[in-house]
Amino acid sequence: MSASQDKIEITTPSGKVVVIRNYTTRADDAAAQDVINKGTKIVAGDSGEPVLEMTLEATQGAQDVYVQRLVESIDGSSDNIAGQLLELRSADYAAIDKAVSEIANPKG
């Protein structure tokens, strides 16, 4: 993985070179939060207390939002990133997803 001031470059298992923005913006976070909000509801817990319940689809959907927004190019092409992401091998997408997750959900 190589880095520049505001981007990282990763090479996927099949050799695709992907440029990813290495920070999120308020707009990125708001778009991801919107997906989470739509997949979250308050239900009654065992003792009747309110419990927040989130679907797995909401969590994955929010991550997909970050991937689509942070990936800037794949093999030098920034055309139709969403479409390019859908056509990637699963292992390639997983590598991108991991890199984006580390940016969107920093530890520490």
Residue-wise pLDDT tens digits, 56-69: 888 889 999 999 99
Number of domains in the chain: 1
What would the two tokens of residue 41 be?
């509801």
Secondary structure of the chain: what % helix, strand, coil (to 5)?
45, 25, 30
Residue-wise pLDDT tens digits, 47-99: 989 988 888 888 889 999 999 999 999 999 999 999 999 999 999 999 999 99
Alpha-carbon span 11 to 13, nearest angstrom: 7
Residue-wise pLDDT tens digits, 7-37: 999 999 999 999 999 999 999 999 999 999 9
The backbone torsions φ and ψ at residue 27, rounded to the nearest 5 degrees and listed phi first, read: -65, -40
Q: Which pLDDT score, from 0 to 100, does residue 107 have?
A: 80
* pTM metric for this prediction: 0.82
Domain ranges, residue 84: 2-104
Beta-carbon count within 10 A of 22 CB: 17
